[in-house]
Amino acid sequence: MSYDVMVIGSGPGGYAAAIRCAQLGLRTAVVERAELGGTCLNWGCIPTKALLKSAEVFRYASHAAEYGVDIAAGAMKADLPKMVARSRGVAEQMSKGIDFLLKKNKVEVIVGTGSLTEVPHTVAVTAGDGTTAIYEARHIILATGARPREFPSIPVDGRRVITSRHALTLTNLPESMVVIGSGAIGAEFATFFGTLGTKVTIVEYAPNLAPLEDEEISKLLERAFRKAKIAVMTATEVKQVAVDEAAGLCRVSVAGKKGEQVLEAEVVLSAVGIAANTEGIGLEAAGVRIERGKVIVDEHYRTSVEGVYAIGDLIPTPALAHVATAEAIHCAEFIAGLAPEAVDYAVVPSCIYTTPEVASVGLTEAQATERGYTMRVGRFPYTASGKATAAGNRDGMVKLIFDAETDRLLGAHLFGLNVTEMVAEPALGLTLGAKAEDVIRTIHAHPTMSEGVMEAAAAAYDEAIHL
C-alpha cells in the first residue's frame, strides 16, 4: 500500500497534519498505536481540564453561602472516582471526535506502532499481534509526541511516586502530596488536589513558580497558592525521593533556602518536564539527525533525511499542543507545494489553568529589558473590574508591555479568572503589530474581564478611566 503522506502519531500535531494534507488532495494515512488524539486529548490537556472543572465546582459549592446559596452541612463531598470517571469520559468523547474528523476527511487510520526503516520512503507498522506490514509514502511526518520525564533520584513506581498520567486515574484522595515542578503540569495538579483537601507542597528548583512566566505574575501565583494553603518552596533542589512502604509515605530530601530538610508525604507527583518519544521509531535506521534528545529540522520541518519531517514535541520548539498544530499545518501546506509563512515562535500563547489562571504571550518585562527596549507598562487589577467583583474573583491583573519608542505591543501577562480565554486578543495584537492606541480605541464590551486588556493599555499611557 502506498500513500502521498503517512503521519506517525495522532496527537494535536499528527491529526492536524493528516487532515490538512487530505484537504489539499493528498492521499494520507495516520498511524496510531493507542487512542486517537494522542497524549493531549487522552492523558494531558483535556482530561486535566475536566478534573479542574470538577474542582472548580467543588470550590464554588464550598463558598456557596457567599453567593446566597445554602447547602446543608454534610451534603457536599468530593467524590474523586466520579471526577476521574467524568474526566475519562470527556477524553473518550474527544478521541471519538478525532476519529470522526479523520473519516470525514478520508484519512486512513492504521492501528499499530509505526517506524521508519532503512529503505527510504517506507514505514513499518507493527500490529498488536506482533505482525509487521510495510507501507510506502512519498512524505512521512513524525509526530510521536512526548512522555513525562523521569530521573533516577525520583523513582516512579506508579503508586507512591507518580507522574501526571498516574494522577489522572487516582481513585483515593491522598492526605498529603509533594509536587516536584511548578510548570503547567505541576501547578495545575497542585491546584486540583489542594482544592479537594490534600495537603500539598510544591517544590520548584527555579527562584520563582512557573519560571517561564513574567516574574510579577509568578509572585502573584505564589501568593495565591499560599492563600489556598498550598505550601511553596522555590529555589529548592530535590536530592532524593525514598518510599517507606511500612510507614505508607514518601520521604523527599531537599536543599533550599533553609538548608537541607526532609519532607514527608503520602504521594509524590513528579512534574519535571517531558521527554520526546524518539525511541522505537526508526530514527537511527533511517539516519535522522538528533541532538539532545530532539529531532533537528529546518523551517519547513524537514529532517536530515529527504522525505521525512518532524513536528511537535519531537523537535526543539515549545512543547505545546497549539504549537504542534501550527507546525503541522505549515508542514502539510509545504508538502502540498504551497508557500506557507513560517511559524512565528515569538507569538506563542502560554496558559496555566490554576486558580486563578495564568496566561501570557510575547516578551516578559525582563526579556524586554535584556533586549534594550524602553518600555511603557500598564497594569489593571481585577479589584477595579466590575465583572470580576460580581463573580467574586477579584484576585487578578492584566499587564501589558509596550515599546515606548514605537508604542507597539511587546508582551501581555494575565493572572485571574478566565484569562486563558482572554490571551487571544493580545496574541492577535502582536501578530498584527498593534500599537497601544489600537487596543485603547477598540470598544470592549462591558462588563467583561477582557475590558482589563483595554484598561491596562490605557494605564500604560495614563489614560485609564477606572483606575
DSSP letters for 95-116: HHHHHHHHHHTTPEEEESEEEE
CB 202 within 8 A of CB 172: no
CB 49 within 8 A of CB 42: no
Q: What is the DSSP letter of 313?
A: G
Q: Which three cell numbers stand for residue 259?
A: 538548608
What's the alpha-carbon Rg for the chain, to the nearest Å? 24
Question: How many CA atoms are closer than 13 Å to the CA of 41, on its beta-carbon side?
Answer: 22
Q: CB atoms < 10 A from the CB of 339, how many?
A: 6
Distance CA 293, CA 320 (A): 17
Residues in the chain: 467
C-alpha torsion sign, points 322, 325, 329, 335: positive
Alpha carbon separation from 158 to 8, 151, 161, 162 (Å, rounded): 28, 14, 6, 5
* Strand, coil or helix: 451: helix
CB 46 within 8 A of CB 180: no
Q: How many helices (H) and strands (E) does the chain have?
A: 15, 24
Distance CA 48, CA 45 (A): 6
Residue 446's φ and ψ, nearest 5 degrees, are -125, 135
**Residue 265, strand partner residues:** 250
Residue labelled with grid coordinates 534528545: 293
Q: CB atoms < 10 A from the CB of 213, how many?
A: 25
Q: Which three cell numbers stand for residue 194?
A: 489542594
Alpha carbon separation from 168 to 43, 86, 99 (Å, rounded): 7, 11, 23
In the chain, the amino acid numbered 402 is F
446 is catalytic: yes
Out of 300, 322, 330, 446, which one is annotated catalytic? 446
Catalytic residue numbers? 446
